[in-house]
Amino acid sequence: MQIRAEQLESGLQKQLPPVIFISGEETLLVNEAADSVRRHARKQGYSDRQVFDVEPGFDWNSLGSEASSLSLFSERRLFELRMPSGKPGEQGARALKAYAGRPPDDAILLVIAGKLEPAARKSKWVQVLDQAGMVIFIWPVDREHLPVWISRRMKARGLQPTPEAATLLAERVEGNLLACAQEIDKLQLLQGEGPVDIEDIGAMVTDSARFDVFRLVDCALAGDAVRGLRILQGLRGEGLEPVLVLWALARELRSLAGMAAAIAGGEPVSRVMTQYRIWDSRKKVVGKALARYGVGEWRSMQRCCARLDLVIKGQAAGNAWDELVQLTMRIAGHAVLPAAVS
């Protein structure tokens, strides 16, 4: 039975199914869902917890062997199978289907997996787990719905935020749910239960936005110049050396120039991304960037990086941070000052 993440707690209070499958890429939400299962299992006497980490070379027969063996001291058992890739392979799929087909009476199987692609969610082994118990697919909280998620989480902890307070907190954490959860817990600890307004957020919540160079790069590739420039401003405010920002941008530009050249030569985009080891989570933004410019433009920006390196070293005139702004905007597909385009 497939349920939403917010239904898990009430569903576990009614019954503990023999199989529970949790899949998603948002670490905080996946971990909290798994914690909820563990908590309810302990309450119902499943005191023997055995963890299986699915890594290269994992012996899938070990799961079936443990399931068929008798529990020491007749304890109820919780089998926790951690599968970060979400890909069990043929042997793993057979083992999961065999377990779900005849689950032991004294055990619960909790499978924790990374994000599954649409085709994988329809695979036979997932369907068998669904038929045997609960399946929960956990989706990331997008920027539009983050204030609602924050407001719901704060209210669950006795806080009563105004809509403006929830929106400000969402802006501060920049989609970092773990940082957001920590800030909410800190608010509860320092202020106690009760109303929370925008002044409370401004006074008590630190700026936990992930102002890092890798998010800057992805924002630029996605064409989100406004967000990219905000991150760049944050990096400058934190005292980061501009050479580190240049390093990240230059590295990405080398990769983009190489991919653009391969695509221009007739290579399929998907194959090129595989050759350049582009993670699945980044393929969308990288694809946007490759569609925006050809190889000539990417190589032109590489030359800009070479000049910027001289500026940072004091060997050429200019302001490093101003030119990083121009380069970021250019990568994002926005107009730049003529002096910066060389």
Tell the residue number behind the tokens 């939400």, with chain if given: 29
Domain-wise residue ranges, the chain = 2-138, 146-204, 213-340
Q: What's the pLDDT score for residue 96?
A: 96
- Whole-structure pTM value: 0.64
At residue 305 the predicted structure's pLDDT band, cuts being 50, 70 and 90, is very high
9-29 mean pLDDT: 91
For 237-248, what is the mean pLDDT?
Answer: 89
Q: In the predicted model, what is the mean pLDDT of residues 121-134? A: 94
Tell me the fold of 213-340. Zinc Finger, Delta Prime; domain 3 (1.20.272)
* Per-residue pLDDT at 198: 87
CATH hierarchy code of domain 146-204? 1.10.8.60
Per-residue DSSP letter, 6: G
Per residue in 168-205, pLDDT (tens digit) is 898 888 778 888 998 999 888 888 899 999 888 877 77
Q: What's the chain's average pLDDT?
A: 89
Kindly indicate whether the domain formed by 2-138 is annotated with CATH number 1.10.760.10: no
Cross-strand bridge partners of residue 110 = 20, 80
Helix (H) or strand (E) holding 135: strand 134-138
Rounded to whole angstroms, the Cα distance separating 314 from 297 reads: 26
Q: From CA 46, how far away is CA 184, in angstroms rounded?
A: 31
Same fold across 146-204 and 213-340: no
What average pLDDT score do residues 113-131 get?
A: 93
Asked if residues 96 and 111 have their Cβ atoms less than 8 Å apart, the reply is yes
Alpha helix segments (H runs only) across the chain: 8-14, 27-43, 61-68, 89-101, 118-121, 124-132, 146-156, 163-173, 177-191, 198-204, 213-222, 225-237, 242-264, 269-275, 283-292, 295-312, 320-331
pLDDT higher for 335 or 298? 298
